[in-house]
Amino acid sequence: MSHCVVIYTYASCDTCRKAVKWLRAQGISYEEKPIRETPPSLTELKQMLKAREGNLKALFNTAGRDYRALGLAETFSTLSESEALALLASNGNLIKRPFLLSGGTGLVGFDENGWKSALG
């Protein structure tokens, strides 16, 4: 693969571990970053948003404790795109994981078939 694969993970996340194991099994080199300690930058979040065809909610870990604690289920529709991206950039717990960027490809969550077709 000619471009860099960056994957943000959380060490205690089974889905993240499965995704990294899958990347290794496919022989895909990657740079792994801890999502809680170093959340994706605003630039990376905008890349992912573009890859997800503008679906902002797809970037959020809607099942997470922080999402619920902030009451985002009730207030999400009132957030502007820039407010939502700023929230994500400041709190890695809010981001759906694993979060993978590779060239123009952006993947959130792990679906083996989806990853296989996106990353070959």
pTM of the model: 0.92
Q: Which residues contact 38 (CB under 8 A, 6 or more apart)?
A: 8, 92
Among residues 93, 95, 120, the alpha carbon closest in space to that of 105 is found at: 120
d(CA 62, CA 49): 16
d(CA 34, CA 7): 9
**For every one of its 120 residues, what pLDDT tens digit does the chain have, with 9 covering 90 and above?**
446 899 999 999 999 999 999 999 999 999 999 999 999 999 999 999 999 999 999 999 999 999 999 999 999 999 999 999 999 999 999 999 999 999 889 999 999 999 999 997
Q: Please name each of the domains of the chain with its CATH number.
A: 5-119 (3.40.30.10)
